[in-house]
Amino acid sequence: MRGFLVFFVSVAVMALAFWAYRENYETQQALQENNKLQRELGAAHERLSVLRAEWAYLNRPERLRDLADLNFERLGLMPLQPEQFGRVGQVSFPPRVSLINNPVDVMAVTGPEEADE
């Protein structure tokens, strides 16, 4: 009986050692993948900041004004004038439509005794 117990414990120790060995390598692989994703994320943030800087450079008002002047014959772009803006009273808003078709009188439904309380 004692030999069986020793054999069982030694097999259990070897199984646990194999499991720990495998978990160690899986953890190392997960850490490497995490580091790779962190590097990719950093590179994406850097590309995004470069793109934002390029966008800001290309959208400078003086550059856009020069482009509009160069292409005036083809595009016909004019600068905005204060007369082009209107007042809120000049906007024709659609009429308000009530979504309630059959309104219910709440006082009539609850009764007079509840209204006195």
pLDDT digits (tens, 9 = 90+) for 60-88: 999 998 998 899 889 888 888 888 888 88
pLDDT digits (tens, 9 = 90+) for 13-32: 999 999 999 999 999 999 99
Q: Count CB atoms within 10 A of the CB of residue 40.
A: 10
Give the domain ranges of the chain.
45-79
pLDDT above 60 for 95: yes
Half-sphere exposure of 72 (CA within 13 A, CB side): 6
DSSP state letter for 117: -
CA–CA separation, 63 vs 95, rounded Å? Answer: 43
2-9 LR contacts (CB < 8 Å, sep 24+): none
Whether the model clears a pTM of 0.75, i.e. scores above it, the answer is no
